[in-house]
Amino acid sequence: MDHVRPDSLLTLHYRLASPGGPAWIDTFGHNPATLTLGVQQLAPALEACLLGLEEGARASFELEAGAAFGPHDPQRVQRVPRELLLQHMPDDVHLKVGDAVQLAGLSSASGASAAATVTALDERLVELDFNHPLAGKAVVFDVHILGVL
């Protein structure tokens, strides 16, 4: 059987969640994911968990707080005037706490888009967290390796 190497192409099911929390991503029961290791499709700490696993293996890993997606960085939390934010969104969008938003051009000088989570809002301001949703948290990573190339 083939083993996972640092440059493997994998077909797998995986689930990422904080311990005891809902899954942030879960392919079990859906189409499997196809990923190439070493090209930043997964966080390096998650890729390291997969190395050496055989095709057909099932495994569960618990990573300490911050190990998978780094610490939560308070400087990546920004308050944006609601009016400015809504200018860059469709008219039918009604923001609420917990929403994930994709912002083009507001988050970097290069104009690249970035994902953020709405963490607070009022009539004037929207607080956006540009950290990964699992940053600073312990993570459970469940995998089933279906194929290794």
Q: Please count the helices (runs of H) and the strands (runs of E) in the chain.
A: 2, 9
Cα 90 vs. chain centroid, distance in angstroms?
A: 24
Query: Is the model more confident about 104 or about 51?
Result: 51
pLDDT in the model for residue 116:
92
- Cα three-residue angle 29-114-108, rounded to 5 degrees: 165
Cα 137 from Cα 134, distance rounded (Å): 5
Domains and CATH numbers, the chain: 9-70+134-148 (3.10.50.40), 74-129 (2.40.10.330)
Identify which has the larger pLDDT, 80 or 93.
Answer: 80
- With H, G, I as helix, E, B as strand and everything else as coil, classify residue 131: coil
Q: What is the mean pLDDT of the chain?
A: 91
Tokens found for residue 94: 């009604």
Counting Cβ atoms within 10 Å, is residue 117 exposed (0-12), middle (13-18) or buried (19+)?
A: middle
DSSP string, 12-30: EEEEEE-TTS-EEEE-TTS
Q: What is the pLDDT of residues 103-128, one digit of tens each?
A: 765 545 555 678 899 999 999 999 99
